[in-house]
Structure formats: C-alpha cells, structure tokens
Amino acid sequence: MTGVRVTDLVKDFTVRTGLGRSRFRAVDHVSFELVPRRTVALVGESGSGKSTIARILSKLETPTSGTIEVTDPHGAAVTKRDYRRHVQMVFQDPFASLNPFHSIAHHIARPLRVHGRTRGSDETYDKVVEMLARVGLDESFASRRPHELSGGQRQRVAIARALAPGAQVVLADEPVSMLDVSIRLDVLNLMGRLQREDDLAVLYITHDLATARHFSDEILVLYRGRVVERGPADDVILDPHHDYTRLLAASAPDPERVGKVVSGEAVTDRSMLDNSRCFNHYTRQWEEAEERVAA
C-alpha cells in the first residue's frame, strides 16, 4: 500500500510588477501524510494554495523547497519512473479533462498501455470494460465520445482513468464541484467504495465543508498558503478554533439562517485574520508556523 509524506512544502511564483518582479508564496511550509484507506481534505477559499499542492504532488509543478516521500507497498521509495503509476489525479472539470476527439475506451486504454498493465488489444479492451464496470458504467460507454455523456458520467470515466495504471494515491481536486448537487453524493460514495476496495490514500481538495466532513478523515484548513487548523474532520468542523475556519463555517449555506450569509459573530474583517499560527486538534495546542510538523 502506497503512502505519501509531505514535509515543509514551499512553492514560490515570480510575479511581474510593472518593470520589476516580485515573489509570491502560494504554499508556505505545508506538511501532511497520506496513508492507505484514509482521506485528507484540504479546505480553503480560492487562492489558498490547495490546487497548487495537488499540482506539485502530480508533478505538474516543481516545489521551491520541501520533500515529498512516496513509498510502495513494501516500504521502498518509489522511483521517478514509477511515480505516475502510483500517484494519479482526478481533475475538477470533467468537461475539460477528457479529449473530445477520442472514445471513452481510448481514455482508459491509454494509461493501461503506457504503464504496461495489459498486452494486446483484446486484453486491453477487457480491462477497459472491467474499469468501466467498477465505476458503474456498462460496456456500451466504451465506444462513446465524452460529449455523449453527462457530467457525472464523465467524472466516473475520469476516476476509472486515474485508477487504470494501478494508482494507490488519488489526488481529487474538487471532483464534484462542477457536478449537479443531485449526483455529488453518488460520486463521493463511489470514491469511498473504491478507496475501501483498493486501499487508496486520497487527498481531497474542496471549499465545501459539508463534503469535507462527509468524505474525509482529517481536515487541513489553508489560508494564504499556510495550514491554520488541522485535525479529525468532526473536530475541525464542529469545534473550529481559528477565526478563518469559523468564517468559512459561517459562510456556508444554513437552512436555519435563511437570508443570512455570515453570522454576526463571525470575523468579517480579513485584516484581523492571522495565518502565523495553527490550531492542532491532535495536541489541542496552538503552534507557530515554524514549529509545524505533520500530524
């Protein structure tokens, strides 16, 4: 069973300011661990650094500093050659993540061939049908094009494609945010079932506190690139300590507060928000930024 340990991850971007350049820190000393059969959720508003972390883990971005250790089921370090077979990503937009010119069978067959999971066209097709069945789609979908599928069906195909190489770590970047509310729970339950069947380690990225609590075991709240609160999902959602976490919770739709967006008790002045400290629910203590370690 593959696991990932992220330690002191930092990512700086160079930003043009007129004729000069400045540095923007998108991820600031973030640490966490992904283990089989458990889900870690990264929660925060747009621009908090969630997707940047996922892009770094998927090798789409290079970290400025920090370490990412990936170990295979035998405890050995995963080589660069095998990294993508072990770690795969499910993107946010199922309308853009699939090539409209190719069939669904092509999308799933390609990673099977690239990673040497099958030999010959017959074996590859049989595996494609098997992967479709695992995500609740029958063989008739193999010959279709992405535009012939609904958003939920496309995201199921994207999940099947991610698991096709035999991935043990799944990076789910807001996988249900582009879907109708009526089918979001079905997709999350599908991912939960596949996680149990394959002992997957999952990084779930979202701005939705409700789905984070439903789907994850641990939640890390990100604000301006730093973790400001971390702990078991129920503890973070039901007993938030950091002002930013409270603001997120108060901003979530609540049928008991019709017509109200943010509670009067919430911190609405962002200049008062402090990301130099993190409340750790495991230790029940506040930690300074430079003292943070993976839980």
Structural domain tally of the chain? 1
Query: What pLDDT, in 10s, does the model give residues 135-163?
Result: 999 999 999 999 999 999 999 999 999 99
Single-letter residue type at 257: R
- Token digits for 166? 């035999």
The pTM score is: 0.91
For 199-268, the DSSP string reads T-EEEEEES-HHHHHHH-SEEEEEETTEEEEEEEHHHHHHS--SHHHHHHHHHS--TTSTT-SS-TTS--
Q: Which of 167, 164, 171, 172 is nearest to 108 (CA)?
A: 164
Gyration radius (Cα) of the chain, Å: 20
Query: What pLDDT, in 10s, does the model give residues 84-100?
Result: 899 999 999 888 999 99
Question: What is the band of 200 on the pLDDT scale with cuts at 50, 70, 90?
Answer: very high
Q: Tokens 């495991």 belong to which residue?
A: 282
Query: What pLDDT, in 10s, does the model give residues 101-133?
Result: 999 999 999 999 999 999 999 999 999 999 999
Range of the domain at 207: 3-291
Mapping DSSP to helix (H, G, I), strand (E, B) and coil, where does residue 57 land?
Answer: helix
Question: What is the band of 269 on the pLDDT scale with cuts at 50, 70, 90?
Answer: low
Q: Report the CATH number that the domain containing residue 34 is assigned in CATH.
A: 3.40.50.300
C-alpha 244/C-alpha 222 separation (Å) is: 9
The mean per-residue pLDDT over the stretch 224-246 comes to 95
| Residue 51 pLDDT > 50 | yes
Mapping DSSP to helix (H, G, I), strand (E, B) and coil, where does residue 74 land?
Answer: coil
